[in-house]
Amino acid sequence: MSQDLALLEEVTNSDYKYGWVTDIEQEIIPQGLNEDVVRLISAKKNEPEFMLEWRLKAFRDWQKMKEPRWANVHYPPVDFQAISYYAAPKSSEAPKSLDEVDPELLRTFEKLGISLAEQKRLTGVAVDAVIDSVSVATTFKSKLAELGVIFCPMSEAIQEYPDLVRRYLGTVVPTNDNFYAALNSAVFSDGSFVYVPAGVRCPMELSTYFRINAANTGQFERTLIIAEEGSYVSYLEGCTAPMRDENQLHAAVVELVALDRAEIKYSTVQNWYPGDKDGKGGIYNFVTKRGICQGYKSKISWTQVETGSAITWKYPSVVLKGDESIGEFYSVAVTNNLQQADTGTKMIHIGKNTRSRIVSKGISAGKSQNSYRGLVKINKSAAAARNYSQCDSLLLGDTCGAHTFPYLEVSHSGATVEHEATTSKIGEDILFYCNQRGIDTEEAVALIVNGFSREVLNQLPMEFAVEAQKLLAISLEGSVG
């Protein structure tokens, strides 16, 4: 292959560079969902009785629920019987250390830019790697254990710390919360579990990397983070999936619990396969994320960069229950081609002097539709609550759409709620200014988009911020001119 061709190929493939499949032995259970499947998953995980009961209850609730249709997204109905609810890389025993992990898997993550070998000590990021439904490796476990921080796969937590799991699982997002949360509760197979004991400031970023590999499966992970009194933890998640012509379902649930003076910072860089230019394939990303500021002066902050998925439908929320607690939501959502995103947040103010801040930046290009949908609810008990929301939309091209659906519900006269939203395009004068200085139009757009999103990107941990910036530029490639 000549060099030109190689270059050309690189450029054309840059649409989605994580689209390959790892060829490893998989264990997949047959498609379809019934009580036996739920029992099978529970049995495979060797779960205690209470978990099985919990799953079955969720499954029975799910059967009674209807698929929600209110979001501003359109897609053919999902056939829940055509999905396999459990897929795992085959290995006889759980690996005790990284040396025992299938080298093919390690290569997978290296290819994704995530080295699981602890050589990356300098970066100071502990990683939990999840392929399809199962966690394959968690790094830095022992170092964290010295401080009493628990960072392990959910399935392990159920075995090792059943009391903690039992006490908190499903308390923030109840099993019957919504259609997808019920489904997740019934069939989830793994995810991350984090417990930070009182007064501990977690010394490194905790990170989970999610990868869908198998075909015709759904990914249902469940994450639970508990920050005890006065503790701090920063957690990141990243996600990719192979390019396939079928749509795949991803329905995760994330629960955060922050006790007195605790702080949880949760960042997401979501880059599931978005489908091709004609809207074929891609991930349906229907996720329930919610945190509760249980204690006095606790704080939960969500940061998300959403560039992937054919359809994104998620509203990371904060229930501000403790007095003087703080909720934050920073989001950049980019849609291109035929992607659809309906995302935003909910801030439920219950405690006194609670504060929340919402900064949402939507960027739409191609034929995509990008919606912000948010709720700020000030309960009667939330004296002197404060909210500020800002949602800006940037439109690139005349075939895309940007929509804003903010709901403000105020039931306390002492509350101050402010919301503002703007929608505009990149002005021709700005592009002209850049062109004049030798920056071509595509680069100029990337520059402006970066500036537009900076307020949010600044919230990301540094390693991720760099990646997110690149991701923004790639997602919008070819959307100009």
Partner 1 sequence: MNATNPVVNFKDKLLSDFQLFEQSLNGSSTLPIHAIRRKAIQHFDQLGFPTPRHEEWKYTNMAAVLRQPFRTQMGPPAIDLSADDFRPFLIDDLDAHVLVFVNGWFRSELSTSADEEAELCIGSFAEAQKGFAPAFDQHFAQHAAYTDDAFTALSTAFARDGLFLNVSAGRRVSRPIHLLMINDAREADYFVQPRHLLLLDANARATVIESTHTLGAGRSFSNIVSEVVLGEGAQLDYYKVQNDSPLASSIATIQAHQHANSLLRSFTLSLGGAMLRNNVNATLAGKAAHTDLFGLTMLKGREFVDNHTLVDHAVPHCTSNELYKGIYDERSQGVFNGKILVRPDAQRTNAFQSNHNILLSDGATINTKPQLEIFADDVKCSHGATSGQLDENALFYLRSRGLSLEAARAILVHAFAVEILNTIEVEELRTKLDAQITERLSFTF
Per CB under 8 A, residues contacting partner 1 are: 70, 378, 380, 393, 395-425
Q: Give me the DSSP letters along 166-196.
A: HHHTTSSS-TTSSHHHHHHHHH--B-EEEEE
Question: Given the complex with partner 1, which of 46 and 399 has the nearer CB atom?
Answer: 399
Residue 29 DSSP code: P
Beta bridge partners of 359: 330, 390
Which of 219, 216, 236 lies closest to 286 in space, CA to CA? 219
| Residue with smaller CB distance to partner 1, 173 or 378 | 378
Please give the single-letter amino acid code of residue 165: V
Please tell me whether residue 366 adopts helix, strand or coil conformation: coil
Closer CB to partner 1, 31 or 381, in the complex: 381
298 closest CA partner among 230, 384, 350, 235: 230
Query: How many angstroms separate the Cα of 242 from the Cα of each of 90, 282, 475?
Result: 19, 9, 16
| Least Å from the CB of residue 313 to partner 1 | 17
* Closer to partner 1 by Cβ: residue 26 or 72: 72
The SS3 assignment for 374 reads: strand
CB of 351 to partner 1, least distance (A): 16
- What's the closest the beta carbon of residue 382 comes to partner 1, in angstroms? 11
Q: Shortest distance, CB of residue 391 to partner 1, whole angstroms?
A: 9
- Pick between residue 227 and residue 382 the one whose CB is nearest to partner 1: 382
Considering the complex, state which of residue 78 and residue 410 has its C-beta at the smaller distance from partner 1: 410
Report the amino acid identity of residue 37: V
Least Cβ distance, residue 394 to partner 1 (angstroms)? 9
Instruction: Provide the minimum distance between the beta carbon of 173 and partner 1 in the complex, in angstroms, as a whole number.
Output: 23
Query: Strands, E, within 169-294: which ranges?
Result: 192-196, 205-211, 222-227, 232-240, 247-250, 253-258, 263-270, 282-293
Question: Least Å distance between CB 71 and partner 1?
Answer: 12
**Residue nearer to partner 1 on the CB measure, 70 or 81:** 70
- Nearer to partner 1 by Cβ, of 434 and 480: the residue is 480
Q: How far apart are CA 201 and CA 300, in angstroms?
A: 15
Residue 220 to residue 248: CA distance in whole angstroms: 11
Q: Which two tokens mark 57?
A: 């209850």
Is the Cβ of residue 244 or residue 352 nearer to partner 1 in the bound state? 352
Q: Which of 315, 151, 168 is nearest to 233 (CA)?
A: 151
Which residue, among 262, 259, 237, has the nearest Cα to 250 in the 3D structure?
237
**Residue 142 or 413 having the CB closest to partner 1:** 413
Q: Please state the closest distance from residue 127 (CB atom) to partner 1, in A.
A: 40
CA-nearest of 423, 13, 42, 33 to 249 is: 33
Other residues' Cβ atoms within 10 Å of the Cβ of residue 468: 24
Reported for 196-199, long-range contacts at CB under 8 A and 24+ positions apart, including other chains, are 196/149, 196/225, 196/226, 196/227, 196/228, 196/231, 196/232, 196/233, 196/262, 197/147, 197/148, 197/149, 197/228, 197/231, 198/228, 198/229, 198/230, 198/231, 198/259, 199/228, 199/229, 199/230, 199/231
Output the smallest distance, CB 407 to partner 1, in A: 5
Among 271, 61, 97, 273, which residue's Cα sits nearest to residue 183?
Answer: 61
Nearer to partner 1, 113 or 427 (CB): 427
Q: How far is the CB of 254 from partner 1 (least distance, A)?
A: 27
How far CA 35 is from CA of 53, 85, 87, 102, 178, in Å, comes to 11, 12, 17, 32, 19
Q: 44 in helix, strand or coil?
A: helix
Smallest distance, Å, CB 335 to partner 1?
13
Instruction: Provide, rounded to whole angstroms, the least separation between the CB of residue 293 and partner 1.
Output: 21
Question: Which residue, 66 or 437, has its beta carbon nearer to partner 1?
Answer: 66
